[in-house]
């Protein structure tokens, strides 16, 4: 059975949990508390030298790091990934946008808030993070106007990747009132059959997983 090293509060971890649940793939899970340094122990660094979750160990013991690379692995050969070359590149474009232009602003402000670290950063730093986060939301808003999903005509892993931290952006102080297309898209993804909330941190037992296999 696959084994996920994860942290409940992490949107990056949630991406992988969401995908495993949506695909009905059985997995076990180990919680590593980032705030207690549990991703920086010698044991975990021996698995993932970059010291970050999520980290997924496959059935054969192979480990994979980086949330969006794990999403890709779990999506290959399924409808979560377009067949054609341009669609695949476009999907990666949005996933790299997420890690470079979205997460470092929206997720980081939420984390500073959550971990009581806002006071450790200057007003200028917080202002720059805020501006960067809204710039990302503006790019998403313009793209989603008149579109249901980020790439093509159905949900893809680009939607899951961007949903993870966008749906909790308010926990970092972002207001989505001026972003109606983003808000409608959040409702669409969050309302999909089989969707699990970020608070769902159980693994998926084999029997339960098998019931759902192939459902996506």
The sign of the CA dihedral 167, 200, 32, 81 is: negative
Kindly state whether residue 96 participates in binding a second copy, applying the rule CB under 8 A. Answer: yes
CB of 138 to a second copy, least distance (A): 8
Report the residue from 1, 3, 30, 92 that binds a second copy according to the rule CB under 8 A: 92
Kindly state whether residue 64 participates in binding a second copy, applying the rule CB under 8 A. Answer: yes
Measured between its terminal Cα atoms, the distance across the chain in Å is: 19
CB 208 within 8 Å of CB 196? no
Kindly state whether residue 36 participates in binding a second copy, applying the rule CB under 8 A. Answer: no
Kindly state whether residue 116 participates in binding a second copy, applying the rule CB under 8 A. Answer: no
CB of 191 to a second copy, least distance (A): 27
Rank residues 100 and 184 by Cβ distance to a second copy and give the closer one: 100
Question: Which two three-digit tokens encode residue 65?
Answer: 């790091």
CB 4 within 8 Å of CB 31? no
Q: Which stretch binds a second copy (CB under 8 A): 45-53, 110-118, 146-154, 180-188?
A: 45-53
Residues in touch with a second copy (CB under 8 A)? 49-50, 52, 58, 62, 64-70, 72-73, 76-77, 85-86, 88-90, 92-93, 95-97, 99-101, 103-104, 122, 125, 138-139, 142-143
């Amino acid at each position: 059975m696959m084994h996920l090293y994860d942290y409940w509060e992490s949107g990056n971890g949630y991406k992988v949990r969401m995908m495993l649940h949506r695909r009905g793939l059985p997995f076990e899970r180990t919680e590593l508390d980032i705030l207690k340094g549990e991703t920086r122990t010698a044991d975990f660094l021996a698995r993932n030298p970059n010291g970050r979750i999520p980290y997924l160990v496959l059935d054969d013991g192979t480990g994979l790091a980086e949330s969006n690379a794990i999403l890709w692995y779990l999506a290959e050969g399924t409808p979560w990934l377009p067949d054609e070359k341009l669609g695949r590149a476009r999907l990666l474009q949005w996933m790299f946008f997420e890690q470079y232009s979205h997460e470092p602003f929206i997720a980081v402000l939420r984390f500073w808030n959550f971990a009581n670290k806002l006071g450790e950063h200057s007003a200028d730093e917080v202002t720059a993070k805020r501006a960067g986060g809204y710039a990302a939301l503006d790019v998403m808003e313009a793209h989603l106007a008149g579109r249901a999903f980020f790439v093509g005509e159905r949900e893809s892993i680009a939607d899951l990747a961007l949903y993870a931290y966008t749906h909790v952006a308010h926990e970092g102080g972002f207001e989505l009132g001026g972003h109606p297309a983003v808000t409608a898209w959040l409702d669409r993804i969050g309302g999909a059959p089989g969707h699990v909330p970020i608070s769902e941190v159980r693994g998926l037992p084999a029997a339960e997983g098998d019931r759902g296999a192939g459902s996506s």
